[in-house]
Homo-oligomer: A and B are copies of this chain.
């Protein structure tokens, strides 16, 4: 139990099917993940809380490991919070692993890495994978894709892989890992980085698919980076295949001093 009156900083993990939401961030007049989660918390705590997410997933993008934090003076024990949240609609959003964290913890600013996975369906259409994969023409051997992907690993200016019109101060990001794995008809592209520009994973995947189709060569990737021009890269792959799967924090920001 928590003493009433004191404000706890709570971190929890969200999984969601983003198909029917206009992204994470609250926007007037359309359903968003943030608004739906805040509405659940209002019913549970009676407080109009503001939740902060580690990643601002776009419309139609899913999550298995989105991290949020919020400060509450409510008296519901932290360990009962997720069961209460999951008993309320919308059920397309599921909370897990609620945990009290130090007051200073911030889901977005403290994140040192984020991991996204993009799922391709390299096979016959399926009504059950439809919401969660992007179906592609046969990819064949993944060697060419992996060769292209290897050029993107490391610290680069990724402005060529950033949605036009996005306003951020600088475009240098460090891609720590870019793996491509096959499991039957599913091919997963996993990208881990210290941060992501708007639509960065989807433009990387769209460009890799042009390599798979033979319209580009793996060796073209450095020139695409160097161009510093969105037009140099491939199209933006659809939102439905993309999942925010993990957010990594330094140990110390999560450790509570008792």
Chain A residues with CB under 8 Å of chain B are 15-17, 62, 86, 91-94, 96, 124-128, 130, 132
> CA of A17 to CA of B131 in the docked complex: distance in angstroms?
11
In-complex Cβ contact of A132 among B92, B125, B128 (8 A): B128
Asked if A91 and B125 sit within 8 Å, CB to CB, the answer is: yes
Copies per assembly? 2
Across-interface contacts of A130 in B (CB, < 8 A): 17, 91-92
> CA of A244 to CA of B93 in the docked complex: distance in angstroms?
27
In-complex Cβ contact of A125 among B94, B125, B126, B128 (8 A): B94
CB distance from A81 to the nearest CB of B (A): 14
In-complex Cβ contact of A96 among B17, B93, B94, B124 (8 A): B124
CB distance from A184 to the nearest CB of B (A): 15
> CA of A126 to CA of B63 in the docked complex: distance in angstroms?
11
In-complex Cβ contact of A15 among B16, B93, B94, B127 (8 A): B127
> CA of A48 to CA of B126 in the docked complex: distance in angstroms?
26
CB distance from A91 to the nearest CB of B (A): 6
Asked if A127 and B96 sit within 8 Å, CB to CB, the answer is: no
